[in-house]
Amino acid sequence: MKREGTTFSIRDRATRPSTLFAFTLTALLLFALWSAASSFDLEQVASAITSADSVALVAALAACFGTLILRGLRWRTLITTIDINISRRAAVEILALSFWVNVILPAKIGDVYRAWLLKKNGGSSFGRAVGTVIVERAVDLTTVALLGALSAYVAFGGNLSPAVTALTLVALTLAFVGAAVLLLGRGPAARLVARLPLPAAAAEPIARAFDALKAGSRKGTLIAVTPYTVIIWGLQAARLGCVAVALGLFQVDPAPGFLGISAVIFTALVSAVLSTIPFTPAGIGIVEAGSVGILISIFAMPPEAAIALTLLDRVIDIGSLMVGGGILFAVSPYPRGAGSLR
């Protein structure tokens, strides 16, 4: 049976003026970062990366793939609230494909792609699928912000510098925004949007998205996804921690220039927030600048060590997604609408 619905072409998206502008911006940012990094000892950076402990790097890669699997299982829990039966394998595979799109295209377009894949392969509604992704992102935003604020307090023993205080306030603001999305989505926002003079073509999918947002933000659903969320972000921090171990930059009781547990969590979560900035794919250029800046200015890490840590972590994170996701896209039936959700 032919499945009709909204079309989505990665090639068309990649050639749109807005996307081409994002690619140009990414190239300019990377050039600026390379120019800035040239003032440091890049041979030392290369030496640190090539001599990194391989066992710790494999552990970092395992943590990276572990987060992807758990994200798929968590999304499956949210999908069940809109009465769609989907297997664990299908949920993980579709989510992995969407994350691959997020690292090759800007504006988090992979989140839309995920909803489209679900619809194209037998899901009941594109709008309701979008609603589950919104719930997932709101839960992530709230969790990351709260954990980031807590880790900042622990890392600095309550003695926060002006820069860390500002980051903590931003984190708490983001936590409020995420919680507000979940609370307002349970009724008030939907009623407000329903009163707007929207065309029928837009009003119906928006109403369905709010239906899914309401179902996904129920107390029972949020409790069910909380363990997944905590472990996911624990693994995100563990990935960075393993890379720090591989480079000899981790200490349980850290001296200046090294990272401890709370500092790893803080840095990993700030990087995660920076990666959501939609101007470049996966925040490329933005995350690297922010992470290196934090490591140098807040944790007194030598520039060469900060560059090596950030580069190696990003290669494991988005590099593995680019390669693995590209292979999955080539062999998966879901982009062609020939996959089964069961």
The answer to whether residue 322 is domain-embedded is yes
- Alpha-carbon dihedral 197, 201, 202, 206, rounded to 10 degrees: 110
Is there a domain that residue 11 lies in? no
Residue 212 domain-assigned (yes or no): yes
- Provide the domain limits for residue 275: 61-330
The H-assigned helical ranges of 156-260 are 162-184, 188-194, 200-216, 219-246
Q: Which positions ≥6 away from 262 have C-beta within 8 Å? A: 151, 152, 154, 155
Q: Residue 190: its pLDDT value, please?
A: 67
Report the pLDDT value the prediction gives residue 22, as an integer from 0 to 100: 96
pLDDT of the residue at 193: 67
CB-based burial of residue 227 (10 Å sphere; 0-12 exposed, 13-18 middle, 19+ buried)?
A: exposed
Nearest Cα neighbor of 318 from 73, 88, 67 is 67
CA 328 – CA 305 distance, rounded (Å) = 33
Those residues whose C-beta lies under 8 Å from the C-beta of residue 335, and which sit 6 or more positions away, are 97, 117, 329
Give the rounded distance of the alpha carbon of 224 from its chain centre.
20
Helix, strand or coil, per DSSP, at residue 259:
strand
* Residue 17 belongs to a domain: no
Q: How far apart are CA 90 and CA 92, in angstroms?
A: 6
Q: Is residue 277 classed exposed, middle or buried when 0-12, 13-18 and 19+ CB atoms within 10 A define those classes?
A: middle
For residue 201, tell me if it sits in a domain: yes
What residue type is 198 in one-letter code? L
CA distance 296 to 304: 10
Number of compact structural domains in the chain: 1
User: Quick check: helix, strand or coil at residue 280?
Assistant: coil
Q: One-letter amino acid identity for 98?
A: S
Q: At what angle do helices 42-50 and 303-314 cross, to 10 degrees?
A: 50
Which amino acid, residue 210? F
Give the model's pLDDT for residue 230: 96
From the CB of residue 154, how many other CB atoms can be counted at a distance below 10 Å? 15
pLDDT of residue 201: 67
Helix (H/G/I), strand (E/B), else coil: 7 = coil
Count the Cβ atoms, other than its own, within 10 Å of residue 315. Answer: 15
Tokens linked to 314: 């990003």
Encoded amino acid at 250, one letter? F
Q: Tokens for 316?
A: 């494991």
User: Angle at CA 239, nearest 5°, toward 234 and 96?
Assistant: 85
pLDDT tens track of the chain, all 342 residues?
A: 344 456 789 999 999 999 999 999 999 999 999 999 999 999 999 999 999 999 999 999 999 999 999 999 999 999 999 888 999 999 999 999 999 999 999 999 999 999 999 999 988 788 888 999 999 999 999 999 999 999 999 988 888 889 899 988 998 998 999 999 888 876 776 677 667 777 766 777 777 888 888 888 888 999 999 999 999 999 999 999 999 999 999 999 999 999 999 999 999 999 999 998 999 999 999 999 999 999 999 999 999 999 999 999 999 999 999 999 999 999 999 999 999 998
26 domain residue, yes or no: no
Residue 71 lies in a domain: yes
In a domain, 12, yes or no: no
Contact between residue 302 and residue 63 where contact means Cβ atoms under 8 Å apart: no
